[in-house]
Amino acid sequence: MTKPFLAALAGQRQKRPPVWLMRQAGRYLPEYREMRAKAPSFLDFCYTPEFAVEATLQPIRRFGFDAAILFSDILVMPDALGQSVSFETGEGPRLTPIETAQDFARLSEAPDWAKLAPVFAAVAGVRARLPAETALIGFCGAPWTVASYMIAGRGTPDQAPARLFAYRHPDLFSRLIDRLADASADYLARQIEAGAEAVQIFDSWSGVLPSAEFERWCVAPLRRLVARLRAQQPDVPIIAFPRGAATHLGRFAEVEGLAAIGLDTAADPHVAAAMLPARLALQGNLDPLALIAGGAALDAGVEAALEAFAGPRAHIFNLGHGILPETPIAHVEQMLARIRA
Amino acid sequence: MTKPFLAALAGQRQKRPPVWLMRQAGRYLPEYREMRAKAPSFLDFCYTPEFAVEATLQPIRRFGFDAAILFSDILVMPDALGQSVSFETGEGPRLTPIETAQDFARLSEAPDWAKLAPVFAAVAGVRARLPAETALIGFCGAPWTVASYMIAGRGTPDQAPARLFAYRHPDLFSRLIDRLADASADYLARQIEAGAEAVQIFDSWSGVLPSAEFERWCVAPLRRLVARLRAQQPDVPIIAFPRGAATHLGRFAEVEGLAAIGLDTAADPHVAAAMLPARLALQGNLDPLALIAGGAALDAGVEAALEAFAGPRAHIFNLGHGILPETPIAHVEQMLARIRA
């Protein structure tokens, strides 16, 4: 029997939608927080297979989600390309920003695969331990989103540093984006070799660009990444999550080789569906804050999502953004009971 | 002769698009910064007609924009409703957050019009001094956007406090939204009485809500506000600027009585136009960061906007968000030369 999550990605609508949550492995789980305290840093945690495997499995054991997503971070890519990356508790990521052609020249041409070996070991470890009905998702950040951190050296509310850099140094920025697209394709291919059964590409900051820049820095790099990945792994189902892409959703989804589009919280499922080719499955898009609020607001949000994605397209239930650390576990249970009723 | 900006709002496409910039009166101008230093606080500055008049006129003198927009702030409304509001230099607004029914009960039923009298005096003062071809725009914040500050007590990147409050206390939040809709309608009506010839409603934070919440907290309050305003001022052209509304644009624009929709930086003009009734003029949407970058990136951005809004609809040239303080004046001149060529 095909796993329900993979069947949905193949376009087969399931009787009840398969469900997983972005960031389902992580800080809202006490068992995760306890384990996290044992590693000296967040990157150490990501690069220690026993930690990454266990963190990936924790939400599966607790909630029986239809898919596990590897515990890792999109910023292992700049780390593997030789940029300095660290995570300050409560402050988010810090990177040595790329501000000049010299900074760019210091990056490696290709990722240091030895550095990423623990990630692939974790993928294999998870796959060996997953229940038969549960699928394993690998992932990476989209080139634009990863580049926005590499240029700014940190998370930024509007990605202004990367946007300005791209306006001022389009050729250099283009070389960075191409390098990320190629490296990310190869990175996903190796995750699949190690056991990932589907991949998601997170373009978390795609919602800030004008049309021409969206085409150049989001759509074209996705096309390049997907083509290179499929040349190595022709059959892997690919989910793209262009958060905030909004009126640009149609162009993003035109990229050949996608299986599904993840919709963010603010996307109207009906309007978005009308923009997207019928062959694509849809994933989303409960408000993570409704999951924090619980009660009637949560019930209403779950019902609204179930109705909005009522078909005939295949639907994968998810949030419209990552689950937040302060989310009560009882609310996740309430949500699941309703989806599975 | 009708002023070109007002003609465009009446649906008459102009040979070259009328142009103004959100936040055109303000910090990127040295003459503004010099004058601002004379007032003890930002709110004092807003409530002193000679300052507000002069700040409104400065960019008109310098650039000859087709419209002046009153120098003020959307948070004069909570101030007039009795909430404590202040602006910390470099930190943005600070309000005493509304967290309980008791906090809400302390708000006034209607604005303290005496407090807002200097705003209306400033409107009259600007109108008397404007060149004959220049129109005067009044404005307010949309209920959802203003409420997001009133609940959080400050600007927040994702409006999580207001979104959670609305999930947890929908009846109380609804009363706050209704109060803001009515007060804002009356506030705009008085700006028009004082001399404003058009108004813009800024829903700067409308881009974070799921469909049902967007309908309840953005669309319905806009309908209420516009209906109440038009009952007092049936002929005033109304521009709505639902920043980030994206796939929800069509529903926002269905509200009867709007003359134009302002598009944000990330809105695709063609996709957005297809969502909007043909009678509406479109305003937008050059990236404010292209205006900072200047050079070829700015030229390309201006050309892209001129082409994307090539017609047949009326177009008002603007940015997709407010002009940023670090914008070089020479770049504004470069942009205008190209639009006017």
> Tell me: the pLDDT tens digits for B284-331?
999 999 999 999 999 999 999 999 999 889 999 999 999 999 999 999
Q: Band the pLDDT of B66: cuts 50, 70, 90.
A: very high
Q: Is the CB of B272 less than 8 angstroms away from the CB of A248?
A: no
pLDDT in tens, B200-232: 999 999 999 999 999 999 999 999 999 999 999
Q: Using alpha carbons, select from A147, A210, A326, A304 the residue that is nearest to residue B164.
A: A326
B154 is catalytic: no
A228 is catalytic: no
Q: Is the CB of A328 inside 8 Å of chain B's CB atoms?
A: no
By DSSP bridging, strand B315-319 and strand B281-286 are parallel
Strand (E) or helix (H) holding A94 = strand A92-95
Q: Is the CB of A210 less than 8 angstroms away from the CB of B293?
A: no
Q: Using alpha carbons, select from B23, B48, B12 the residue that is nearest to residue B291.
A: B23
Q: Is the CB of B167 less than 8 angstroms away from the CB of A248?
A: no
Q: What domains appear along chain A, each with residue ranges and CATH number? A: 4-340 (3.20.20.210)
Whether residue A274 has pLDDT greater than 90: yes
Whether residue B90 has pLDDT greater than 90: no
Q: Is the CB of B267 less than 8 angstroms away from the CB of A247?
A: yes
By DSSP bridging, strand B85-88 and strand B92-95 are antiparallel
Mean pLDDT, chain A, rounded, equals: 97
Rounded to an integer, the average pLDDT of A20-27 is 97
Whether residue A35 has pLDDT greater than 80: yes
Q: Is the CB of B209 inside 8 Å of chain A's CB atoms?
A: yes
Q: Is the CB of B156 inside 8 Å of chain A's CB atoms?
A: no
A192 Cα to chain B: minimum distance (Å): 34
Q: What percent of chain B has pLDDT over 90?
A: 97
Please tell me the distance from the alpha carbon of residue A305 to that of residue A302, in angstroms, as a whole number: 5
A36 is catalytic: yes
Q: Is the CB of A304 inside 8 Å of chain B's CB atoms?
A: yes
pLDDT in tens, B13-47: 999 999 999 999 999 999 999 999 999 999 999 99
DSSP string, A4-41: HHHHHHTT---SS--B--TT-SSTT-HHHHHHHTTSSS
Rounded to an integer, the average pLDDT of A309-333 is 96
A169 Cα to chain B: minimum distance (Å): 10
Structural contact between residues B182 and B224, judged by C-beta atoms closer than 8 angstroms: yes
Query: Residue B139 forms beta bridges with which residues?
Result: B200
Rounded to an integer, the average pLDDT of A94-118 is 98
Question: What is the per-residue pLDDT for B311?
Answer: 81
Model pTM?
0.97
Q: Is the CB of A207 less than 8 angstroms away from the CB of B168?
A: no
Q: Choose the catalytic residue: A47, A149, A163, A216.
A: A149
Q: Is the CB of A246 less than 8 angstroms away from the CB of B247?
A: yes
Q: Which residues of B touch A295 (CB under 8 A)?
A: 168
Q: Using alpha carbons, select from A81, A93, A183, A201 the residue that is nearest to residue A140.
A: A201
B127 is catalytic: no
Please, which residues 76-95 of chain B have a Cβ atom closer than 8 Å to chain A?
none
- Alpha carbon separation from A243 to A157, A188, B58 (Å, rounded): 14, 20, 39
Mean pLDDT, chain B, rounded, equals: 97
Q: Is the CB of A247 less than 8 angstroms away from the CB of B266?
A: yes
> Which of A156, A254, A268, A323 is most worth mutating to test chain B (most B CB atoms within 10 A of its CB)?
A268
